[in-house]
Amino acid sequence: MAAPVAAVARRLRRPIRRSPALQDPSRRPASTEPPPAQSSAVRDAFLSFFRDRHGHRLVPSASVRPRGDPSLLFVNAGMNQFKPIFLGTVDPRSEMAGFRRVTNSQKCVRAGGRHNDLEDVGRDLSHHTFFEMLGNWAFGGEYFKAEACSMAWELLTQVYRIPKDRLWVSYFGGDPKTGLDPDLESRDIWLSLGVPANRVLSFGPQENFWEMGDTGPCGPCTEIHYDLAGGVGAPELVELWNLVFMQHNRPVSWLASPCTPSLVREADGSLQPLPQRHVDTGMGLERLVAVLQGRHSTYDTDLFSPLLNAIHQGCGAPPYSGRVGAADEGHIDTAYRVVADHIRTLSVCIADGVAPGMSGAPLVLRRILRRAVRFSTEVLRAPPGFLGSLVPVVVEMLGNTYPELQKNSAQIANLVSEDEAAFLASLQRGRQIIDRTLRRLGPSDLFPAQVAWSLSLSGDLGLPLDLVELMLEEKGVKLDSAGLERLAQEEAQYRARHTEPEQEQGLHLNIHALGELQRQGVPRTDDSPKYSYSLQPGGGYEFGTCEAQVLRLYAENGTAVDSVGAGQRCGFLLDRTNFYAEQGGQASDRGYLVRAGQQDVLFPVARAQVYGGFILHEAVAPECLQVGDQVQLHVDKAWRLGCMEKHTATHLLNWALRQTLGPNTEQRGSHLNPERLRFDVATQGPLTPEQLRRVEDTVREAVAQDEAVYMEEVPLALTAHIPGLRSLDEIYPDPVRVVSVGVPVARALDPACQAALKTSVELCCGTHLLCTGDVGDLVITGEQQLAKGTTRLLAVTGEQAKQAREVGQSLAQEVEAATERLSRGTQDLGEAQRLSKDMGRLTEAVDTAMMPQWQRRELQATLKVLQRRANTAIRKLGMGQAAKKSEELLKRHSKGPLIVDTVSTESLSVLVKVVRQLCARAPSTSVLLLSPQPVGSVLCACQVAQGATPTFTAEEWALAVCSHMGGKAWGSRVVAQGTGSTADLEAALRTARTYALNQLQPGSTQEPTWTKGTQLAHSEGQQNLQ
């Protein structure tokens, strides 16, 4: 038995792949009965089986954008959306808290991050960046191993009718290192279901122990495998279904950090039993369909065949034939697979609000799109706009299951087509830059790393580096890889220096602490007092205090304690609180507490966080605090009021954007604190200055009307009837709080209420002002394109907004004055140059000031025109001055091979113009001019005649003179310039004449001399030689 099992083990993880042996007609099909005709029937059969036969709740797929999980770029497994249940942090009032048996088909993307299949897609017959994960879950011990295995076996063998003799199973064989015993329970369950003992295999933790991450819930898993060989020869197994039994937790250890006095979290490697056990299963739809349709590649199923046919028809390449490796001549079939997979991924991601961009998930999506463009244009020879034409095919195939594809089909096609066109233009420009650079290189020179970097995804054009290397390889040129590595390191260091430091994690309640609280019957925190505030007759807000009792205390390392002493950082739970715990994009409250009867000792509260309905307050104790103490809570009124002001303004901003951009405008996220608010919105492109101004004006009108802000908790189901309700992709509690501007909530609940369509109505747990007039004002001060299709707006309110408007008005007046100065004109070059510098300083002020963004954009456009006009004036005056100076010099010097002299100019650029004009009028004359400046420096410019000897170069001539003056020079063989400093101009002129005459004398061997330490810059681009 050992040898066959070992052989099987080596094949256990092989993906489905095409093999000549598997084409043998003697091979048995996957089922003795006709398989489901379509993949949609396979998906529906799975969901119906668990819903109708086993009482599971059917929930929709979550977005591929992770909800509140910064550890993920994309949702990559069906369990991601249920992590709050596994971690014990789910809101007890939410719909999810009531989940017991659940099933769904989850959209998953595995590209970037820990699970990354991007580079494998196309090379084989099984890898995908997007796939559908069929799953069923049981939470809180609703059922466990026996039921999960039995249901899986029933579905595969009775519903899908997969022959039992083609199914193998594996289970966890234990791990001596962690002291975990073999999962004999799962083994015995499979044996009891009739699986022969020789097809029940045991494996270690790498194969059959599943973990969410380095820490957190985990447990043994049992997997069901399908035998592709069908009993002919050695078994060839492929994983079909993974059943995970989450019954352990890998906790965090707290270690002293050498850099900070606080403690840091690390995985300690130990395992603890979970307070509640869960079942989490996952089966890839693509692989299941391949098995049921008797295909040996997922690309041969009806999940891909319509796309492959559309690719063939759209680009005229030979039909797809499923070849891989060396057999795939010209990589035609590889390109088919890449394009088919990537257009599915792009369509699904863009429909869920992830568009190609420059960082994080958007950057990964940008790479996916550009990889698809490369294969479609360079291998399949597809016409421009081809990728966008495939979007309707994806929508037709997946739109019924995932309706967001149908809703956003036009936007998806437009984004794909626009980015495809942009990439093709970048590709053409990149080729031109490469060709121009190669013309400057010697035969053995490496291609400059700086140029390759500017072409790359990290640089300006966005070309993948491997494509740049391929383009160079085709021309027989090698890239400076070492230099490229240095640039990558410098970029990483720059990003590290300029990345905002992450907020300190603070204390937290882990799953065991939460389980212990529930086991002991500790009540969840009553935080309803956070809404207890009122507007006083004088216009101010009154925030009441809150009387509470300390229920639990936690030391800095998370250990529950009975008391904490002076100077200790601690966390504490109260029976009730008026502090707002950070959630919904609103920052946590700050404030302090005092013990009953001791009003003069303040315990400052830095933050409040919510974990599964328990609100953990964090403070540094100035004195002893004990469990059972009676305390009084005071929120920081200024901080809270700032948050309320920004939150109400956020709702008004959301509504104003819909009024301006259209009712289908969607919020992508927001965050606010007393200083400013941040709002991300889905847009077709950057907002115009006029749109930004209209949005602001709409908010200001609502503020001026000073309408009441109504807030009320209602059953979640009733909110479905609110006309035009704005809600996000969030998990809402039930009952849920409704915030309505100007329309009472009871009236807004009426489906016939037209007033609700004309104002802001949102589901929101945050704290708000009681009337819109208290916002004061709103100014959008910043705008940033996070990705194509998503714009981030930054805004301030109240007094900050007033100041921003004042700054904007002041700068507008300065720009108006500069316009007037420029319109008057000047014939003085110095005055024109000063005006140009003033334009530059004014531009920098406008770029960096906190002011209305619409006004900034308008002033920037005006200043750009003014700067161009000023530069044109400088060039004209400079040319006129140069012509005058050159005429004077020609009159002073008789015809000859050399002019060395001084001239009065105000800039190096004018001096170079004088030299050029002299040489243009006297082509056989070499010219060097010096121009002393009021500050003591001396400018130098020179040009050698066209017929000068090869050894006589302008750069060496300028270096000889400037080094004599203790300066530096730069330029080319023909034209050069430099600077220095000297009180003896005649000596510098003699040096210039002597050097030139020595070079002009035939056969001269005299070497020029100059002071050590001077510099010669050979780069023509270091300064503009005009």
Q: At what angle do helices 985-1000 and 954-964 cross, to 10 degrees?
A: 150
**Parallel, antiparallel or unpaired: strands 101-109 and 130-138:** antiparallel
Say which DSSP state 375 is in.
I
- For 218-231, the pLDDT digits (tens) are 899 999 999 998 87
Does pLDDT of 338 surpass 90? yes
Residue 322 to residue 300: CA distance in whole angstroms: 8
Q: Which two tokens stand for residue 665?
A: 């405008």
- For 507-543, the pLDDT digits (tens) are 889 888 998 999 999 999 999 999 999 998 888 999 9
Does pLDDT of 791 surpass 70? yes
H/E element, 785: strand 778-787
Q: Exposure of 95 by Cβ count < 10 A (0-12 exposed, 13-18 middle, 19+ buried)?
A: middle
What local confidence, expressed as pLDDT, does residue 492 receive? 77
Does pLDDT of 22 surpass 60? no
What local confidence, expressed as pLDDT, does residue 216 receive? 76
CB 580 within 8 A of CB 766: yes
Does pLDDT of 20 surpass 60? no
Residue 527 to residue 79: CA distance in whole angstroms: 30
What local confidence, expressed as pLDDT, does residue 1010 receive? 35
Whole-number Cα distances in Å, 945 to 59, 882, 1018: 82, 19, 20
Does pLDDT of 549 surpass 90? yes
Percent of the chain with pLDDT over 90: 59
Does pLDDT of 9 surpass 50? no
Q: Which two tokens stand for residue 370?
A: 């550009």
Any idea which of 261-275, 463-477, 655-669, 965-979 has the lowest mean pLDDT? 261-275
Any idea which of 34-48, 165-179, 364-378 has the lowest mean pLDDT? 34-48
- Amino acid 121 reads V
**Better-predicted residue by pLDDT, 668 or 677:** 677
- Beta strands across the sheet bearing 926-932: 898-902, 926-932, 937-943, 975-981, 968-971, 1015-1017
Q: What is the mean pLDDT of residues 156-167?
A: 95
Q: What is the mean pLDDT of residues 477-491?
A: 86
DSSP string over 610-656: EETTEEEEEEE-SS-EETT-EEEEEE-HHHHHHHHHHHHHHHHHHHH
Which residues fall within 8 angstroms of residue 717, CB to CB, at 6 or more apart? Answer: 734
Residue 81 to residue 69: CA distance in whole angstroms: 9
What local confidence, expressed as pLDDT, does residue 157 receive? 96
Residue 369 to residue 363: CA distance in whole angstroms: 10
- Read off the pLDDT band of 2 (50, 70, 90): very low
Question: What is the C-alpha end-to-end distance of the chain, expressed in Å?
Answer: 85
Residue 999 to residue 1026: CA distance in whole angstroms: 25
Winning range, highest mean pLDDT, from 102-116, 303-317, 361-375: 303-317
CB 914 within 8 A of CB 886: yes
Which residues fall within 8 angstroms of residue 849, CB to CB, at 6 or more apart? Answer: 807, 808, 811, 856
Residue 795 to residue 799: CA distance in whole angstroms: 12
- Read off the pLDDT band of 470 (50, 70, 90): confident
- For 753-764, the pLDDT digits (tens) are 898 889 999 999
Q: What is the mean pLDDT of residues 449-453?
A: 85
Q: Compute the half-sphere exposure of residue 811: CA atoms within 13 Å on the CB side of its CA.
A: 28
CA-nearest of 716, 718, 706 to 748 is 718
Any idea which of 22-31, 125-134, 677-686, 766-775 has the lowest mean pLDDT? 22-31
Q: Exposure of 197 by Cβ count < 10 A (0-12 exposed, 13-18 middle, 19+ buried)?
A: exposed
What local confidence, expressed as pLDDT, does residue 728 receive? 63
- Work out the mean pLDDT of the chain and round it to a whole number: 86
Does pLDDT of 312 surpass 90? yes
Neighbours of 533 (CB within 10 A): 19
Q: What is the 3-state secondary structure (H, E, C) of 33-92?
A: CCCCCCHHHHHHHHHHHHHHHCCCEECCCCCCCCCCCCCCCCCCCCCHHHHHHHHCCCCC
Q: At what angle do helices 908-921 and 853-892 cross, to 10 degrees?
A: 40
- Read off the pLDDT band of 729 (50, 70, 90): low
Any idea which of 84-93, 244-253, 400-409, 541-550 has the lowest mean pLDDT? 244-253
Say which DSSP state 530 is in.
G
Residue 186 to residue 150: CA distance in whole angstroms: 11
Does pLDDT of 1012 surpass 60? no
CB 104 within 8 A of CB 61: yes
Which residues fall within 8 angstroms of residue 627, CB to CB, at 6 or more apart? Answer: 550, 551, 552, 553, 562, 563
Whole-number Cα distances in Å, 767 to 358, 591, 612, 674: 34, 16, 20, 12
Q: Give backbone dihedrals phi and psi of 169, rounded to 5 degrees, phi first.
A: -135, 155
**Better-predicted residue by pLDDT, 882 or 418:** 418
Does pLDDT of 18 surpass 70? no
Q: Helix H segments across 733-828?
A: 745-748, 798-824
Does pLDDT of 444 surpass 80? no
What local confidence, expressed as pLDDT, does residue 634 receive? 96
Q: Which two tokens stand for residue 978?
A: 């430099």
CA-nearest of 959, 955, 951 to 1004 is 951
CA-nearest of 361, 359, 358, 356 to 373 is 356
Does pLDDT of 860 surpass 90? yes
Q: Which residues of 32-65 are buried (b: 16+ CB within 10 A; e: fewer)?
A: eeebbeebbebbebbbebbbeebebeebebbbbb
- Read off the pLDDT band of 1017 (50, 70, 90): very low
Does pLDDT of 766 surpass 80? yes
Residue 413 to residue 252: CA distance in whole angstroms: 45
Q: Give backbone dihedrals phi and psi of 151, rounded to 5 degrees, phi first.
A: -65, -45
Any idea which of 293-307, 388-402, 894-908 has the lowest mean pLDDT? 894-908
Q: Which two tokens stand for residue 828?
A: 């003085």
Residue 313 to residue 580: CA distance in whole angstroms: 59
- Read off the pLDDT band of 11 (50, 70, 90): very low
Neighbours of 907 (CB within 10 A): 18
Does pLDDT of 298 surpass 70? yes
Q: Helix H segments across 851-984?
A: 853-892, 908-921, 954-964
Q: Which two tokens stand for residue 134?
A: 């069929």
Neighbours of 715 (CB within 10 A): 10
pTM for this entry: 0.75
- Read off the pLDDT band of 911 (50, 70, 90): very high
